[in-house]
Structure 1
Amino acid sequence: MAPRKIIIDTDPGVDDILAMLLAFSGLPSEVEVLLVSVTYGNVDVRNCLRNVVSLFSIIEKEMAWRRAQGRPVGFDTLRQSKPLVAVGPEHPLADEMLMADFFHGRDGLGEIHTSHPHLSPADTWKALFDDAESSADPEQTAIAEELKKTDSIFTASRTPAHLEILRLLRENEPDTITIVAVGPLTNLALAAAADPETFLRTKEVVVMGGNVHHPGNMTPVAEFNTYADTIAAARVYALTSPNPHTTMPPVPPAPPGTPEGTYPPPFLNPYPPNLPERLKLSLFPLDITEQHLLTRGAFRALLSPLTTAHSPLAEWTQAFMTATFAKVESLHPVVTGDAVSLQLHDPMCTWYCMTAEHAGWKFAVDEDLRVETAGQWTRGMCVVDRRDRPKSDDADLHEVAGDTDGWVGGGKGNRLRICIDSPGRADFGAYMVKRIFGL
């Protein structure tokens, strides 16, 4: 079976790093990672990018250590195909930037770059991603060219992430690339706005986001990734509808002082009518991701022999996971010690891509879920119609009395797949660690 080609859109973040480690430790027959597109989210985009580069740097050190130890090198997927890394925007489409540094630390990884500086890459990597304005500096250009000659396991791109997504979709056959989105959906919304027909060549968009029946983790009703850019989420979800205009979010008011004729910007314009197909989008909300856990005790037991043996990856992971477990314990003091657990939101999405054919994956299909973009208390809330009314895609269906905003008929509404069960959820945490570390 051919591997599933994936793009990972990410804002690392602790569980984002675990999700990427799981994907890169896969087999070449399971997944091929074409691109890591970086966005803001858990922290600012520059720190997110540093965490991605740090990940690759540590993997290189880990592979060298395993060779020296006579161990299987692992990371077969990564060694088979070197992914691109591209950088996206610094802020949401139309809102102020929100970060989750209160949980992940100011650098996104529990302040690891301060506490363990020897595990962080030298700052020379920045020259690889400098934009055209910065790259005019001859010294920086020379550094970048020298870095490109090294045997790196990724390729840096100076093209904006959403344009790299579109390029890969154009250059590959339709329905062959899955986008795994584990951060705010700004990169995806920009790609869809720039060229919706090309964006719809995607095989599937796998999203970690939202909450259907479960409380939020950012507000009482909203999950972080959705809350961080509600307009982006609503615009991407609208592409699952037979008639995207029926669920598109309203354009927010122009900021004060906006020159006449410049608003709204193109990325907030409506989609063209008569799009060739609907987007297939599989949502992994808090309802299912919070049921997949890794306990402090299980993590410590599995990693202890590797940290004793001075595995670079074990030392690095242990450092930010120790800080994360401590943060979880401070937020939920009823659970202490080895029972403290990390919810594996993002790794679930890469696990699904690696094992999508497993019969244990269960989805509710054609769910009309929409995102609230403007509510005072409900911004970011995922709204579903719980009324007992018949629904139909029949364009000639007469509107039901009182059906405001077109929830019921006429081909209106979104059509998402929502994950409701997975294979082996009780064992996933240990399974993930064993795959990553070759245990």
Structure 2
Amino acid sequence: MHKPRSLRSALRRLARPLILIGAALGILLGQHPAWAEGTSPSGTDPLRLGVRSAILVELESGRVLYAYNAEEPLPPASMTKMMTEYLVLKAVREGKLRWEDPVTIGVYPGFLGRDKGSRVFLEEGETRTVRELFTAMAVYSANDATAALAEKVAGSREAFVSLMNETAKSLGMVHTHFVTCHGYPEEELAPFVKANGDKNVMSARDAAILARHLLLDTPEILSFTSIVRANFPPGANRKQEIAMENWNKLLPGLRFAYEGADGLKTGFTDEAKYCVTATAKRGDMRLIAVVMGAEPAPGPEPDKNRFLAAHALFNYGFQNFARKVLAPAGQPVGDVSVRRGTKDNVPAVPAADIVDVVPVGHEEDVRVTWTSVPDLFAPVQKGQKVGELRVESPYPLLEGTPDIPLVAGEDVPKAPWWRIFFAAVGDFFANAYRLALSVLNRA
């Protein structure tokens, strides 16, 4: 049913002066419409790594460049020690521990020092420094040194394992559970650990999260993990040094050396097979590669498959990706409308260069979008947050989806009262015009 012609004609007659008044005020006062918002990894193994699980991550951005079965909880063996390293370094940073602090070896580390895997033959009652023990853990994967540090930090092995699990949860490691501080097979640790089926597990993704926090939160870890060879000092009952060669054969001068490799941690048990969490840097890009469950290779180098898989991951990353500045610091990405200011808009700029990883030859696959703060009122100060920027990429983030703040590129003082008054009048007529037009469209 149509409305009477007289009503439609009256509405049109009312709309015409409103349109003219609104347009005139808009031109006079410089009002603008509201700002409008601008707008692979998989479960397959195309690299044919031949491992149970793998992931490749760029450190700074946290982009996952390659993933295979990365969510499955698997035994991490001595890669467990990355969490012990993280907690010891955190204690040092917080001043709770010093590198030259003495550590008296307890019953449990002494037990591990007698016959439990890689060790530096610690004896109950002897004293070592935090630095000596940490070097033995990071370079030689010494189980006894790891246990001694755990007891030093938390008072007992049980308390330290609880701290490990609490920290894993806080870091977002959702497929991880720790039973020991070192990763040695739990069933072989009686009477200290009961063989009740509870095991250390960690997914490749969680190992990458942990490695990323080690590198970003405690970058001094590399001064230890990059050591190729070191000697563990003699003890009270042992007069000879122990020659320690790093188990990570990706390091310079070792059998499977990879250019730029300088950490982090290997692992092996019969159940876990051969594992490695490795990092390498070339130019301005650092990658993290995790390999879990590599089968033993025939011959004299049974661990080579994990290092060959790490090579393949690193080659894929360095050859196919690069870091790129997507939005330079201080360069406007657009304008944000300002109400009641001496200017009607303010440039939105990144406070720092926005850098992310792009696939070489397909840089257009990665782009930035942004949104503004709604109803931004003057005064606006330079550096004040006025919006958020987001990087859209086909490569997911290892952790979270953070928005990047955009800030005002200049000051916008509050306008004088008369300008604010006439702006309000202009808004009134503009709203009346939109209402009238809406009614006409429904007529």
Answer whether TM exceeds 0.5 for this pair.
Answer: no
Q: Which protein has the larger Cα radius of gyration, Structure 1 or Structure 2?
A: 2
Higher strand share: 2
With the shorter chain as reference, the TM-score category is under 0.3
TM-score normalized with structure 2 length: 0.23
Normalising by structure 1, report the TM-score. Answer: 0.23
